[in-house]
Structure 1
Amino acid sequence: MNRKKQRRAMRILWLCIAVIALCVAGALALLLPVPEAETVQIPGPRGSIPATVQMPSKLSRAGKVPVVVLCHGFTGNRGGDGHFVPLADDLAEAGIATVRLDFAGCGDSTEPYTEYTLGNMAADVNAAITWMAREYGADGPAALVGHSMGGRLASLYPEISARQGYAPVSALVLWSPANGTGLQGLEFLNIEDFSQVEAVAGEAKANGKAGTKWGVEISGTFVEEMEQSDPNAALREAGLPVLLTYSGQDTVLSANTIAETEAAVSSLPGSTVLTEPFAEGNHNYQNEDAAVNAQLDADLRSATTEFVSAALR
């Protein structure tokens, strides 16, 4: 056989090998699909934390499995306004485990809403990360995805983690975080009249709790934590890679809060501020038009998955 025929034969052989490899990979993918999500109770410092775990398929795992904790907003739940469930599926396809929590007083939590505090939320996140490593072997690098108040908690978590000795995180994704400095972080309680926010805060500090127009009572502890926290300063101090998104039709956060948070994140290496795809979305990245609504969700999940996958590898 001459050299020309040898080279042609080798090319055919390698092509056959490649085709066989693809067929084997496809067959394995069918045999090892992404597992079903599991509803769990995570042991926490104040009792059980209602949560849902989504693990990636064994085929997509390479080395240590990264984990992402999904943190909902004020009066929200682990559904994340419809975004967290499909996001968990997307991350699982990328080989990343997720755990989404119901914080105190939210979703299936049996605690009163007055236990919804930044300190308790941070403790729950730490419990989730350590539990995922112990029970599911998801002991790779961790990240947080936080929406609104969950985004404020995510911004503050590295600072709290360093102080409390909690499990560290390597990256943050912030969807419309309520990152106003101090009490300004509660502006969503009454965006039209901040004096009313101050009045509710004063009542909570004086009486231990106060009602809000959102139908829940906040505690004096929560108000004091808000007053004493500066999430954008915490972001700068931590220096972690951050993906920040804001929507164009947000009616619960002020332009000043948005601008200050964008400036803080823009100063961080490896970070991204993304707003253009969400121009037609409200604070929860939703729109009354079904097609627009679906696109908002798809863009939010795509940007988050791409960023987290790069940050945790």
Structure 2
Amino acid sequence: MTFTSKIAWDDTVLPFQLDRSDIRGRVARLDGVLEQILSQHNYPAQIEALVAEMAVLTALIGQTMKLRWKLSLQVRGDGAARLIATDYYSPSQDGTPAKIRGYASFDEEKLIPGADPFSQIGNGYFAILIDQGQGTTPYQGITPISGGSLSACAETYFAQSEQIPSRFAISFGQSQRPTEKANWRAGGILLQHMPKASPFADQGGSGEAGLLNALDILDGDEGENWNRANILLDTVEELELVGPNVDPTDLLIRLFHEEQPRVFDAQPITFGCTCSSDRVRQSLSIYSARDIAHMTTDDGIVTADCQFCGAHYEFNPLTLGFEAKLDDAEKS
């Protein structure tokens, strides 16, 4: 993809509603955020594609989080792609950006050249975790890897665990502006029907391995409205999703003008990580002095690197673990 300009909608999520169909949705565009996520590691192209898709899913789903909540998406598999993890930190206050970070772990020896990125996951699960902050118990929902894409996994999750019919259309790839190096861009649309009780909730659905899908939850006029909106979404082109020739508001009118689209305030997104030396110390507080000694390098220090942002930390081993001997003033 070759683009000539950067647009104001990059790194934003635009929520909307289709008033005629009782369907809500979001449009996401990621540019610099995605580039920062992927630039932290030298991933193979197939792993980059999985992380890019996961980042867009995270932006689309995370936009509904309340202030100061955290959303985590995680995929674990027994194939070459062992782990894909993304976090969405909702704004601390209205009008400030949300933050996204992402990371992947993979087994290079298991990578199949030329194979579809999704096939590199193998068998495993797709999970969503919502952390509402101190004093609350995080919520976690899990669904098996199925459907041929991470987007399909997310659709199954919402149908199975939340009883919310959902549909994602996502596009991603490398783009290049004149005189600049290539960088990653991604975009997507999420449609969700307002939730209702499912007649199949207790007896399984018609999806893979008996999992629920959207049409198991909807019937009558609601099913017709959902089908119509999905048919319209099927007409979207990949370049329309990632931009920059069509901004999200024009795209919604182009796709859904008969459904009476109504947009709300856009949410800006930035790359962000919450790692810190204090958090690393806390994570190591469960270890004894003997355990810490095994982690100590020949130079007499304990090191830690954040897989999300690349930050490097060094510690005096005497300050770590539940047997730490030095007080805060002496910690290095």
Asked which structure has the greater RCO (Cα within 8 Å, sep 6+), the reply is 2
Q: Which has the higher strand share?
A: 2
